[in-house]
Amino acid sequence: MKIAILGMGNIGGGVVDVIMKNAAGIEGACGQPIEIKYILDLREFPEHPLGDRIVHDINIIANDPEVSLAAEMMGGSHPAYDFSLLLLEHGKSVVTSNKEVVAKFGCELTRAADANGVHYLYEASVGGGIPLIRPIKDCLASETITAIDGIVNGTTNYILSSIAKSGREFDEVLAEAKALGYAEPNPSADIDGVDAERKITILTALMTGRLYTPEKICTESIRGVSLSDIKAADAVGGTIKLIAHSSVSGRKSDIFAAPCFVPYSSPLAHIDGVYNSVFVNASVSGQLMFFGSGAGRYPTAGSIVADIIAVANGTQRRAVPFEKADDSTLLSPNEHISSHFYRVPEALADAPEFSGAVCAKTGSFAGIITPPEAHEAAVLRAKSLGGDVSVYRVI
């Protein structure tokens, strides 16, 4: 099978490496050799052993009947989406690590794949190297997934677990994460939850078949998470993690990407550093969790190669295209039904609104409150008194 690589960056270069170094194993798994015929990039790579495969025009790939698959690792919406659509329309399967494109244009691309009898696969777009999309699809094949809770962003998980472990504040830990290469120079897409928002959009589409508009998902930054919050959470028996959540109940979807209180009884509370982990509630198989490297050159390349193999050896099943979800079925932030974790000034400790809370005094006062009605009263009271108040959903 002849394939094209779109984008020779960190992930794309990793995929080329893996295909070259692991040719025999991949041929065995595919039942045929995989040959990289083209590498699309703006740059030249004269020193690279496959430097002669570089092209700059997507039409060369689209119009070559020998090419049956392209791996898109360009990043960004455009031209990644346009190139993917063009190739699908030319009867080529596309596999991708580009969560932005899947989350924004998944309907169009899965529809184009279906119309042209080819595949649009995106194992590498969520959870990096973790086999996740395929097991969930296999599981979903006859079961209902009722809820997903994931730590799907390694940068923010590194920062939050570092605050907890080192006892330092957010800014200092973020600076260290940048120095170590775990955070981008402009870390907003990670820190402010945009990356997690895209990934939970994709996971929700796997659960329901419907793709929401990622920008409509309730998303909160981790910039406001303080060392005091994490210490208070620890005293109550949990920690703060950026959780991407999706559950569907009736016509309404409860979807968010936000820092949450995670009790230590949940395995998610113990996922530290740059790792990712996705917790799934399935109707027959029960609680499942998938853990691994959420990013990185080789883990992500491994997922791209797994998708290529599934197409090459013919075991990839045709998927039903995503439908556009009705964004008005999203619960608004105030409607989210869950318990809440509070850290409030000690002056509030005896307030009746907090009487149901599990209490822990750690300089400030912290506790957990259910149900949501009590939550609203507590927020009002806390705000009326002013001072330093933190509120997190409990998962």
Q: Which is nearer to a second copy, 31 or 76 (CB)?
A: 31
* CA atoms of 210 and 380, how far apart (whole Å): 36
**Is 137 among the catalytic positions?**
no
166 binds a second copy (CB under 8 A): no
129 binds a second copy (CB under 8 A): yes
Q: Of the listed pieces 42-50, 65-73, 167-175, 263-271, which binds a second copy according to CB under 8 A?
A: 263-271
272 binds a second copy (CB under 8 A): yes
Residue 83 Cβ vs a second copy, minimum distance, rounded to whole Å: 26
Residue 95 Cβ vs a second copy, minimum distance, rounded to whole Å: 14
Ranges within 15-54 binding a second copy (CB under 8 A): 18, 22, 25-26, 28-29
323 binds a second copy (CB under 8 A): no
157 binds a second copy (CB under 8 A): no
What single-letter amino acid sits at 55?
A: V
Considering the candidates 104, 199, 231, 241, report the single residue annotated as catalytic.
199
Q: Which is nearer to a second copy, 45 or 290 (CB)?
A: 290
Q: Which is nearer to a second copy, 54 or 309 (CB)?
A: 309
**Would you tell me how many other CB atoms lie within 10 Å of the CB of residue 273?**
13
107 binds a second copy (CB under 8 A): no
Q: Which is nearer to a second copy, 208 or 364 (CB)?
A: 208
260 forms beta bridges with 241, 393
The torsion defined by the Cα of 152, 197, 279 and 136, in degrees rounded to 10, comes to -100
Q: Which is nearer to a second copy, 154 or 367 (CB)?
A: 154
114 binds a second copy (CB under 8 A): no
* Cα–Cα distances in angstroms (integers) from residue 384 to residues 353, 364, 391, in the given order: 13, 17, 15
- Using CB under 8 A, count the residues that bind a second copy: 51
277 binds a second copy (CB under 8 A): yes
270 binds a second copy (CB under 8 A): yes
Residue 147 Cβ vs a second copy, minimum distance, rounded to whole Å: 14
130 binds a second copy (CB under 8 A): yes
Q: Which is nearer to a second copy, 89 or 272 (CB)?
A: 272
238 binds a second copy (CB under 8 A): no
Ranges within 279-318 binding a second copy (CB under 8 A): 282, 284-293, 296, 298-299, 301-303, 305-306, 309-310, 313, 315-317
Q: Which is nearer to a second copy, 117 or 185 (CB)?
A: 117
Active site positions, annotated: 199
Binding site for a second copy (CB under 8 A): 18, 22, 25-26, 28-29, 129-131, 134-135, 138-139, 141-144, 264-265, 267, 269-272, 275, 277, 282, 284-293, 296, 298-299, 301-303, 305-306, 309-310, 313, 315-317
